[in-house]
Structure 1
Amino acid sequence: QRLLVIRRSQFVSAPGRLCFPGGAIELGESEPVALARELQEELAVAIEPRQRLWHSLTPWNVALAWWSAAMSPDAQLIPNPHEVAEVHWLTITQLRESPDLLESNHDFLDAWERREFVIGESECEL
C-alpha cells in the first residue's frame, strides 16, 4: 500500500522535508473541512475525508489529527509550488528509509505498524 506524501517547498517551515499533506485548522473549521481545504490548496485535488485514524502531540505541543481520505482514482495532483516541491506515493518502508521524513510522521507510522487503526483496502487513501 502506498501513501500520498509531499516534499515541502523552500517557502514553508521544514523545507525539503517529506510529510503527509495537510495543515492548520482555521478558525471555525472542523478537521474534515480543514483537510479538504488543505489538499485543495496544496495539490489542487478534491478529496472526501473518511475517518480520523489517530491523533498525536508533537514535542513542541502541536496537536496532530491523522485522517484517511478518498479521491478519484484518476485525480491529477498539481502541487502548489509555494507549499509543495514534489508529490510521491510511497510505501511505509520507503518512508521509514527516508532521512527527510518529518519526525512526527514516524509516530504515526509506529501506530500504524502496531495496528492501532486499520485503513480500508479498497479506497485510494491519503
Structure 2
Amino acid sequence: MSKEVYLIALDDQGLPGVLDPAVVEEIFGRHGVDVVGTDAFVSDPDIEHAWTEVTGLGSGVLTFWRPAGRLIWRILFDLLTECHGFAYDTGGSLTVGNGESLRRLRASGNWDADDARTVTSSDELG
C-alpha cells in the first residue's frame, strides 16, 4: 500500500457509512493505541521512528498517513474485517478484509470492485 491509505465505511446497501466510533476506539485500544479526539498516532515498536498518523476517527473515512510496520497493518486489518469497509490507496489499489466487505463494495456500484483484493491476514497488507 502507498503513503496514503483511506479506509472507507459502507453500509449494507453499499452506500457511504460512518464507522462506529466505539468500535474504532475498541480496535485501536486492543492494540494499545489511544484515540484522542479524531486523531491517533501509532508508533510501531519494531521500526524506530515509524509513526503513522490516522485522521478522521468518528467519520466515514479514516486516513492513514505514511502507514508502516506490523502494528498499523494489524489495526487496519481488524478495521477492514470488523467494520466491513474497504481500503483505497493513492496507487489505486482496493482492498477488502472479507466477503461481506466485497459484497458491500460491489453493491455500491461506484467502485471497481472487480479489481479489489481480499486479504486474509494483516501480513498481506504491508
**TM superposition score normalised by structure 1:** 0.30
Which has the larger share of helix?
2
